[in-house]
Amino acid sequence: MTAISAGATGRLRALRSTVTAGRGRSNDLSFLPVLAALAIIWLVFGSMNENFISPANLTNLTLQIAATGTIAVGVVLVLLIGEIDLSVGALSGFAAGVMAVLNVRAGLPGLVAILAAVALGVAIGVFNGLWITRTAVPSFVVTLAGLLAWQGALLAVLGGTGTVNITDPGITRLAQGFLPAWLSWVALVVVLLVVAAGSVQQRRRRVAKGLGVPNPSWALLRVAIAAGVGSVGVAVLNADRGVPYALVLLLGLIVVFDTVIRRTRLGRHIMSVGGNAEAARRAGINVNGIRVFVFAAAGGAAALGGVVAASRLFAVNQSSGAGDLLLNAIAAAVIGGTSLFGGRGSVWAAFLGALVIGSISNGMDLLGYVTSIKFLVTGAVLLLSVTVDARARERRRKAGGPA
């Protein structure tokens, strides 16, 4: 009897150490692979071409990734619930086309046209979500149909000319305009103060409840890193034309949805649907409502991305939203660390992943590589990052033991 209990205690101890070891993979560390990839890419291209890490090129880079990153925010949300949306590219083109027609041909103010485009994107997202939840047709098929249909819709709204040029500064300023230098610094300071205050408040609450608090130097280090990255970024962009409005929009969108995902009930329920939809349903969560919301958000983000792309191009034409835009948005979400299997990932993946893809494309352009090589390299990076995700998942499954 004592022998049995001694064996049991030994096993308990082994178990406990396994659990403690498993704690390492926390939120902060999940960005390490993509940050490492980014560092390598920048080092390689920086050493091969001195123009790569120049303020002018880095400003161009942020403008190049703005549309992809904005669309990828929606893709991340959809991947988090374990679904896919293949219509975001075509939808972004269609929404931009509607905006252009409303602005140029119907004479609506730029902002109104933009809001109408985003509303259209949300409405189409709601349609996608309802169709998927009501008919149980897989999201892959429903949104594949959307990919074809919205391309057709774009051609229809553009009409015979096939292109609509945009001159309204209310729209073009988005991707052609920049924050004044002083405003960018003020904005940075405000953001840092909010982050620091939030950290202090969380600390106070944990202390009040008698919960363990991390070493204060860790919290300080986090704020210091944010301050360092932020100031270097702002300084570099200000050395050229400034911080683009499109980048502010993308980062703002990410902060909003990141907060929703990590700190609200809605976000928790989104993650639970991605983790185990049946468990979420039994916990009283409106699983289909969550799905419809996520597709609506993805539609809205896609439309906004289309608006940014149109603003950058001064036009909407028959190829808006086509080409590699959809694939890059999905690849960005995945390369950024969002799991294709649902329930794991961060909204920041959209930005980091888009930065990786954008850097590769930008760097290879600088070095004079042809498009074929660019696609091959981007494909290899995508394959690598999905493999990393699949292997990590396998490791977790094994670490969990039976059940």
Footprint on this chain of other proteins (rule: CB under 8 A): 4, 7-8, 11-12, 15-16, 18-20, 22-23, 202, 205-206, 208-211, 259, 263-265, 268-269, 271-272, 274-276, 278-280, 282-285, 342-344, 396-397, 399-403
- Minimum separation from the CB atom of position 229 to other proteins (A): 25
Q: Which is nearer to other proteins, 160 or 284 (CB)?
A: 284
Give the H/E segment covering residue 164: strand 163-165
- Minimum separation from the CB atom of position 393 to other proteins (A): 9
Residues 6+ apart with CB under 8 A from 316: 93, 96, 97, 99, 100, 154, 158, 163, 164, 166, 310
- Minimum separation from the CB atom of position 72 to other proteins (A): 20
Could you give phi then psi for residue 315, rounded to 5 degrees? -165, 160
Q: Which is nearer to other proteins, 231 or 276 (CB)?
A: 276
- Minimum separation from the CB atom of position 225 to other proteins (A): 22
Token readout for 403 is: 């059940």
- Minimum separation from the CB atom of position 366 to other proteins (A): 40
- Minimum separation from the CB atom of position 30 to other proteins (A): 11
77 touches 333 (CB < 8 A): no
Phi/psi class of residue 82: alpha, beta or left (left: φ > 0; alpha: ψ in -120 to 50)? Answer: left
Q: Which is nearer to other proteins, 277 or 304 (CB)?
A: 277
Of 382, 325, 359, the residue nearest 70 (C-alpha)? 325
Q: Which is nearer to other proteins, 1 or 370 (CB)?
A: 1
- Minimum separation from the CB atom of position 287 to other proteins (A): 11
Distance CA(88)–CA(84), nearest Å, equals 10
Q: Which is nearer to other proteins, 25 or 173 (CB)?
A: 25
Q: Which is nearer to other proteins, 177 or 275 (CB)?
A: 275
Of 28, 164, 20, 38, the residue nearest 94 (C-alpha)? 164
Burial code (b: 16+ CB inside 10 Å, e: under 16) for 50-59 equals eebbbeebbb
295 touches 126 (CB < 8 A): yes
- Minimum separation from the CB atom of position 254 to other proteins (A): 17
Q: Which is nearer to other proteins, 105 or 395 (CB)?
A: 395
- Minimum separation from the CB atom of position 206 to other proteins (A): 6
Distance CA(391)–CA(394), nearest Å, equals 5
333 touches 72 (CB < 8 A): yes
Token readout for 15 is: 């178990």
Positive or negative torsion for Cα 258, 262, 263, 265: positive
DSSP secondary structure letter of residue 178: B
Q: Which is nearer to other proteins, 26 or 161 (CB)?
A: 26
Q: Which is nearer to other proteins, 148 or 197 (CB)?
A: 197
